[in-house]
Structure 1
């Protein structure tokens, strides 16, 4: 089953609804962004999150000390790192995010998971743009630990899963209306992923 990560969450009502709708991972941004949150906010937002749903902190070029502190303060289950990847352990599994610019041949990582995203603009991630899928050599990707991000929506997520066969998909701006998370779009996105998985397992 394809895992679903809903990123850029900023309020408890949306967090609770995303859990109810069937997400597997919740993403909270701890880097400069219009979706930036604090450890205290995440603690309050996630008081009712089931233990089966993983809380992911998103960082840009953090220090290992910053990761360790925020993991403890916010109660994170994983960290997702854009930019420079620090040495050392932060105590939880890691997702290394890499931008696809179109000239890469392969993507290697020492992290537990690899996330492919579109190149950054003002901020890393959440820009609503896809990258060139054909620029990536599929046979060199670690599909069993691969997340795909970058401009995903309910309209194209099945195509992305068909093309990459990833472990999971990651969405933020593609489920927003006027910069705010839209529960109808979230439901449509999750439904498309689950429909794909259901059809593929019944063939």
Structure 2
């Protein structure tokens, strides 16, 4: 089970998450988010992260120039697009990417996946109108396709108490958490991070 700790805003939290066993870290380049990280701090975090940890940049309907500016300053391994980005937009940066799908009641997950044939995987997140992610809400894990050959990352309202049940129900390739392991928006809680990683990989 791969674990991503998202919403990293400082070197201390990045290294703590790695120490806990996180496989990937998420940096949020979406200014309305309380977990937004500026380019200077993002570059410092990237320089501190050891090899073999996937550094992921999260974008929400960003302009091409915004993504390019981040890539010039921060050596991201993976891009995560959380808005209404087309496959053509996502592919132009020539980096591996995953596409977030917000689980609206009428969303056909498999059909949505076909729209991004080159995506490295798909992150399934809870849906709330007007909010691109980080809602702290779960969705029906029974909606996660069990017969898909595309890697799936489960997100949305996960925390140390429910992640084991979520993994057993949805059988994803990975899980993604942000608010569920925080002591305040943008700052992680060491005990929660360690408990989450342990429970997810159990």
Structure 2 length normalisation: TM-score?
Answer: 0.87
Residue in structure 2 matched with residue 33 of structure 1 by the alignment? 33
- Return the match for 1:167 from 168, 173, 178: 173
Q: CA deviation at 1:113?
A: 1.1
Contact 1:12/1:44, CA 8 A, preserved across alignment: yes
Q: Secondary structure at the match of 2:106?
A: coil
Cα shift readout 1:2-26 (whole Å, capped 9, x = no counterpart): 1000000111111111111110110
Q: Which moved more, 1:26-35 or 1:40-49?
A: 40-49
1:164/1:151 Cα in 2 relative to 1: closer, same or farther (>3 Å)? same
Equivalent position SS for 2:199? helix
Aligned residue pairs, count: 192
Mark the runs of 5 or more structure 2 residues left unpaired by the alignment.
none
Q: Indicate the residue corresponding to 1:84 in structure 2.
A: 84
**CA distance in 1 between partners of 2:12 and 2:144 (Å):** 40
Aligned to 2:196: 189
1:78-122, Cα deviation, whole Å (9 max, x unpaired): 110011224242121101001002222333133111000011456
CA distance in 2, matches of 1:186, 1:139: 27
| Residue 48 (structure 1) shift | 2.1
4+ residue runs over 3 A deviation: 120-123, 139-142
Q: Is the 2:46–2:74 contact (alpha carbons within 8 Å) kept by the matching residues of 1?
A: no
2:152 to 135, 146, 150: 146
SS at match of 1:43: helix
Residues 91-102 of structure 1: pairs in structure 2 closer than 5 A: 91-102=94-105
Contact 1:121 1:127 in 2 (8 A): no
Residue 172 of structure 1 and its aligned partner are, at CA, apart by 0.3
The alignment's C-alpha RMSD in Å is 1.7
Answer yes or no: is 1:43 the counterpart of 2:43: yes
Q: State the Cα distance separating 1:140 from its structure 2 match.
A: 5.0
